[in-house]
Structure formats: structure tokens, C-alpha cells
């Protein structure tokens, strides 16, 4: 059996011990936590950002010292606090948000409420900025609304000052440009984070591919951003990627049908071989490392000459490329059983610790105030039972890139008994 341990940074000290005792267990930091830490880093205005290396344990300091992202968040937060902390502006805001004439094409969006950030939620500041930019037409109408002006004129001096500052912020084109730049630059990070942390499904190969694509984008010039800031941001991004990256990500990427025809660099090839060596250490593994490498070379030759059905019409048609890695290997890599074995093992690995986070949420729902005298052992058994009930209904929907426990697990409160 191949296994994996995905934890947050607090558990990194246990990785060498696990690897020494069980060499076929892959240990890596949760990508969700690493990406969230990257967002926290760029939303700060500290002069230097310190990132610890998982492999060496050494700390590396990165230059930052800019408010290119922190200032829009601060200004946005002040506006949101002012609007939501006063009932009259909030009432006018909600009325304008639900008025079709406020929106282009008279189409009211589904989300019309401002979001407040929360430090314990992943990417909450970026989510706040996204919603804030979406509701820009409402905010601009709010500060010129006659009812709002009358309300502001009747307030105390300090409220009037806050109202004037809010109006200046909302009517500042420079402010909106900085908010839009923040959303444009960091939204791809949120996309990856949501894929990893959510229930839509993610695989090691997809995570590696998306991180590589985003790294390439951050290497390019970004309109509206200073080059030094962009270079520092890219260095931070690479540090956070290196923090959670392990060879198993690269190996899964190599065996994914969407990317198997790509040519990797020397480092990727080394990662691939490292992961296969670990795979061969599984108890009772039927293949040696040499078997896997010989069959991998044979498969690469077949891919180049398009033999064994490895052509665009069969193995790489649209339907085939969407197949889970283990299914694709079972169908099209029949001549290379060692590669089938590797693809089947690597494609089944999860890529984040979100399953644990979800279980803790379920535990909090079960161990509520009404049931606060339940023992911990009983609570853990109830969590396991609850999860197994959901799994039983969803096993027929299983896909290698959508694990059963990542499917919809909305927890609804039980109906109150009739009195």
C-alpha cells in the first residue's frame, strides 16, 4: 500500500522520522496552507519576509517592504467597516445593490453583500477585495445618494470625517486601480487554493501544472506593477512552492494523460526517478526500479512514434485526456504494466489536509453545546460513522481526481422535533 502524510508546517519536524521508518510514505506540507501563507506575506508591508526551508531547516529572508497590496486592503476595509457599522448607509447600500438599474444590463449579481475578512479563513482578504470590486457600482451610487447625504449631514463630527474619507476613497480612481491590480495578480492563486481546498477535486498532477503555469506568469512583466515588486513577489511565490513541493508531485504530473507527452527538465526528471524509487519500496511491490525505468523509456518511444494506439485519435482524444490517470494507464498503457502500477498508485494520493479540516468541522457540529457531555472517543466514532454514511452514497461517483470525501458534504442541522 502506498500512503501519504499531508500536514501543516507545525508537523514538519516529524517528516524525517516518518521517512526513516516508512520509506514508501510520502510526506509534504499542505499546499493550501502554503498558498494562504503566500497571500498573507504579500498582503503585509513588512520590510522582509522570512520563510523556513523544509529540507534544511534554515530561514531565508526575502525583500518586500511595499504596500502595493496592503494599502488597497486597508482602504477597502475602512470603507466596508463604515458602511456595515451604520444602519442607514447599509440599508441604502442593500437597496441599491438589489436595484436592477444599478447594474449594467439590469442584471443583479447573485452576491450583493460586502464581505469582511477573517484571519482564520483562507484567502479572506483577497475574497473581500474581489467582492468589493464587484460591488463598485453600488458604492459609487451610495456616496451620492440624497438619503445618504442627509444622514451624513446629521451625524457627529467624527462620523462626518469618516464619511468624507469614505467618499474620497470610493471616488478615487487610483484606489480602484490598485484594487483591480490586486485582484488581477492574486486571483490565480485563489483559483489554485480553491481547487485544492474545495470539494471539486484536485490531484497532485493538476496542482503541479497550475503552480508551474502561475510561476511562468509571475516571471513576466505585469502592467501596472513595479518590476522590483514583481521580482520580489515571484521569489516569495517560489519559496512557498518549494516549501510544500515533493518529488511525488512531479511524478504524478509525468504520468497524467494531459501532460505525459511533455518533456521535463533535469530537475523534473530527477524528481520523477526519486518518486519511483520510493514507490518500489512498497512491501511486496512486483517491480524493481530498473523495470519501471526500462518500461518508461519504452513508453516514451511509443509516444514519439505513436504506436500502441498512442495517437491523437485514440489515447489523446478529448475524452481520453479527461480520464483519471489510473484509468488512462489501464486502457492505453497495457504494454507497460510497471507504468500502470505507478500511475494507479500515484493518482490515488490526495494533495491537501482539507479532509482533516472538514472532519474537524463535522466534529464541531456533532459536539455542540447541546451535546457537550459526549466523550472524545464517542465523538470520534460519530464523526467516522457520519463520514462513512456519506461515502457509502457517493462511492459510485468516485474518480481519481475527485476523492469521495471531497464531494458535497454539506451538513444540515437536523429538523427540530415537533412539540
DSSP assignment string, 123-137: THHHHHHHHHHHTHH
Residue 329 near residue 340, CB atoms below 8 Å: yes
Looking at residue 408, its pLDDT comes to: 41
Q: Which grid coordinates are listed for 191? A: 483559483
CA distance 408 to 413: 15
Q: Which one, of 1, 11, 2, lies nearest residue 244 by Cα?
A: 11
Residue 195 has pLDDT above 90, yes or no: no
pLDDT digits (tens, 9 = 90+) for 84-138: 999 999 999 999 999 999 999 889 998 899 998 887 677 889 999 999 999 999 9
Residue 35 has pLDDT above 70, yes or no: yes
Residue 402 has pLDDT above 60, yes or no: no
Residue 42 has pLDDT above 50, yes or no: yes
Looking at residue 417, its pLDDT comes to: 45
**Is beta strand 3-7 parallel, antiparallel or unpaired with respect to 25-29?**
parallel
Q: Which residues contact 65 (CB under 8 A, 6 or more apart)?
A: 45, 46, 47, 48
Residue 298 near residue 340, CB atoms below 8 Å: no
Alpha-carbon dihedral 169, 174, 176, 182, rounded to 10 degrees: -120
CA distance 57 to 60: 10
Looking at residue 27, its pLDDT comes to: 79
pLDDT digits (tens, 9 = 90+) for 131-172: 999 999 999 999 999 999 999 999 999 999 999 999 999 999
Q: Find the angle CA(3)-CA(8)-CA(9) to the nearest 5 degrees.
A: 115
- Residue range 225-247: mean pLDDT, rounded: 92
- Residue range 382-408: mean pLDDT, rounded: 61
Residue 399 has pLDDT above 50, yes or no: no
State the burial class of residue 318 (Cβ atoms within 10 Å of its Cβ: 0-12, 13-18, 19+): exposed
Looking at residue 10, its pLDDT comes to: 60
Residue 3 has pLDDT above 90, yes or no: no
Amino acid at each position: 500500500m502506498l500512503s501519504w502524510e499531508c500536514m501543516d508546517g507545525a508537523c514538519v519536524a516529524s517528516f524525517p522520522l516518518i521517512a526513516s521508518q516508512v520509506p514508501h510514505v510520502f510526506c509534504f506540507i499542505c499546499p493550501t496552507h502554503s498558498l494562504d501563507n503566500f497571500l498573507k506575506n504579500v498582503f503585509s508591508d513588512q520590510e522582509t519576509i522570512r520563510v523556513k526551508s523544509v529540507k534544511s531547516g534554515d530561514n531565508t529572508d526575502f525583500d518586500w517592504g511595499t504596500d502595493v497590496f496592503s494599502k488597497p486592503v486597508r482602504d477597502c476595509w475602512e470603507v466596508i467597516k463604515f458602511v456595515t457599522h451604520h444602519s442607514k448607509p447599509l440599508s441604502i447600500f442593500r437597496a441599491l445593490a438589489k436595484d436592477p438599474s444599478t447594474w449594467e444590463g439590469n442584471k443583479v449579481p447573485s452576491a450583493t453583500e460586502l464581505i469582511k475578512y477573517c484571519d482564520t479563513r483562507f484567502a479572506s482578504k483577497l475574497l473581500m477585495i474581489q467582492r468589493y470590486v464587484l460591488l463598485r457600482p453600488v458604492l459609487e451610487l451610495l456616496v451620492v445618494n440624497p438619503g445618504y447625504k442627509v444622514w451624513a449631514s446629521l451625524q457627529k463630527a467624527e462620523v462626518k470625517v469618516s464619511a468624507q474619507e469614505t467618499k474620497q476613497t470610493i471616488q478615487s480612481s487610483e484606489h480602484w486601480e490598485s484594487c483591480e491590480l490586486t485582484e488581477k495578480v492574486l486571483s490565480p492563486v485563489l483559483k489554485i487554493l480553491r481547487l485544492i481546498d474545495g470539494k471539486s477535486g484536485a490531484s497532485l498532477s493538476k496542482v503541479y501544472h497550475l503552480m508551474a503555469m502561475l510561476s511562468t506568469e509571475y516571471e513576466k512583466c505585469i502592467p501596472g506593477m513595479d518590476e522590483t515588486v514583481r521580482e520580489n513577489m515571484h521569489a516569495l511565490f517560489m519559496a512557498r512552492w518549494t516549501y510544500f513541493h515533493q518529488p511525488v508531485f512531479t511524478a504524478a504530473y509525468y504520468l497524467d494523460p494531459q501532460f505525459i507527452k511533455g518533456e521535463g527538465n533535469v530537475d523534473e526528471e530527477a524528481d520523477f526517478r526519486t518518486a519511483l524509487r520510493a514507490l518500489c519500496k512498497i512491501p511486496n511491490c512486483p517491480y524493481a526500479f530498473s523495470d519501471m525505468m526500462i518500461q518508461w523509456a519504452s513508453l516514451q518511444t511509443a509516444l514519439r512514434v505513436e504506436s500502441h494506439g498512442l495517437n491523437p485519435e485514440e489515447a489523446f482524444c478529448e475524452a481520453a485526456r479527461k480520464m483519471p490517470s489510473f484509468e488512462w494507464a489501464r486502457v492505453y498503457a497495457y504494454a507497460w504494466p510497471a507504468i500502470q502500477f505507478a500511475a494507479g498508485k500515484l493518482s490515488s494520493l490526495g494533495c491537501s489536509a482539507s479532509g482533516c479540516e472538514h472532519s474537524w468541522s463535522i466534529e464541531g457540529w456533532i459536539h455542540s453545546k447541546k451535546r457537550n457531555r459526549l466523550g472524545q472517543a464517542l465523538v470520534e466514532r460519530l464523526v467516522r460513522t457520519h463520514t462513512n454514511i456519506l461515502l457509502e452514497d457517493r462511492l459510485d461517483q468516485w474518480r481519481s481526481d475527485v476523492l469521495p470525501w471531497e464531494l458535497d458534504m454539506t451538513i444540515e442541522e437536523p429538523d427540530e422535533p415537533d412539540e
